[in-house]
Structure 1
């Protein structure tokens, strides 16, 4: 290979020694002699490197994305309870009907009812609240749907929160949107 400034005799000899130690990747073809006046003495051979064949590797097949994980039940229940609540044949152990009460009456009835349900050893409590209504939050104290709007707050902040394993919407047969299942923790 020629260098733009040319090689000195010492550099050419070093290059020659190095070139002998290298094994080419592709066969090397000597370049055709350039036409022109012949120089005195032997000119160093000029080697042209063959262009390597360009082969493109086939793109690696993309792995299919992993299937989405199966839907996980909400925390608090095992799959046995989830299947049990989905069946239409499941009957609650205790029923609390808060529908039609004022907020104060409903709260006291919920508290007293959960005390009674725990004393009886009930595990599945049906709480009938009535369906929620699309009204402003300011009107929820006296309008329809007020109990349904407050029930989850009462359960979370009440004295029985530690005894409740899960809260689920009731099956249609038991009131659907207007009722909830409370799954109580097993008593020790």
Structure 2
């Protein structure tokens, strides 16, 4: 798409607006770099290097997969219902296709609505955890799943969350979480 140029009226209006703006911080002028001559560059290459042992490069440590949140112990009836898949969520929300900011807002709103309605179990579909990055992969995957534990911990409703558990395979398995809320 070709770039649109401003009309003379738009330029005048923009200049008028630009004169009324004060910068947030003073911009310091950058000193111009001195040009390097070919002789100086060749001389720098010919200088002897410092001798010594070069430490071997360490392999980058692979961080462990992010955990959703601390998991308080629930009573045995809850544990059995979660393991067997008999736990029926009162409400579910799907965060697929949202950016991080929209997903965070939707999650907080859903927890607030669940507390207002008196629901106990929310099913939150986040998508599967981030796999190990493939060589040359630039697309960021699993960002919502990586952030959801922090969001729940910092939520204004954090004191009302009893537990966060991975969902049963019937409800999404690794790609979903149960958020179990405390009674009022």
Q: For the superposition of Structure 1 and Structure 2, which TM-score range results when normalised by the shorter chain? A: 0.5 to 0.7
Map of 1:78 onto structure 2:
75
Please, what TM-score do these two structures have when normalized by structure 1? 0.55
Map of 2:100 onto structure 1:
103
Map of 1:180 onto structure 2:
177
What's the secondary structure of 2:162's corresponding residue?
Answer: strand
Deviations 1:105-158 (Å, cap 9, x if unpaired)? 10000011111111111101100000122256xxxxx72200000000100111
- Work out the CA distance in 2 between the residues paired with 1:186 and 1:77: 13
- Work out the CA distance in 1 between the residues paired with 2:86 and 2:75: 19
Question: Which consecutive unaligned segments of at least 5 residues does structure 1 have?
Answer: 1-73, 137-141
Q: Which has the higher contact order (CA 8 A, sep 6+)?
A: 2
Deviations 1:77-107 (Å, cap 9, x if unpaired)? 1111111111223210111111121001100
Map of 2:121 onto structure 1:
124
Please, what TM-score do these two structures have when normalized by structure 2? 0.56
- Work out the CA distance in 2 between the residues paired with 1:147 and 1:171: 19
Map of 1:146 onto structure 2:
143
- Work out the CA distance in 2 between the residues paired with 1:75 and 1:90: 17
Deviation larger for 142-151 or 177-186:
142-151
What's the secondary structure of 1:75's corresponding residue?
Answer: coil
Structure number with the higher helix fraction is 2
- Work out the CA distance in 1 between the residues paired with 2:86 and 2:129: 26
Question: Which consecutive unaligned segments of at least 5 residues does structure 2 have?
Answer: 1-70, 134-138
Question: Residue 75 of structure 1: CA displacement?
Answer: 2.5
Larger Cα Rg: Structure 1 or Structure 2? 1
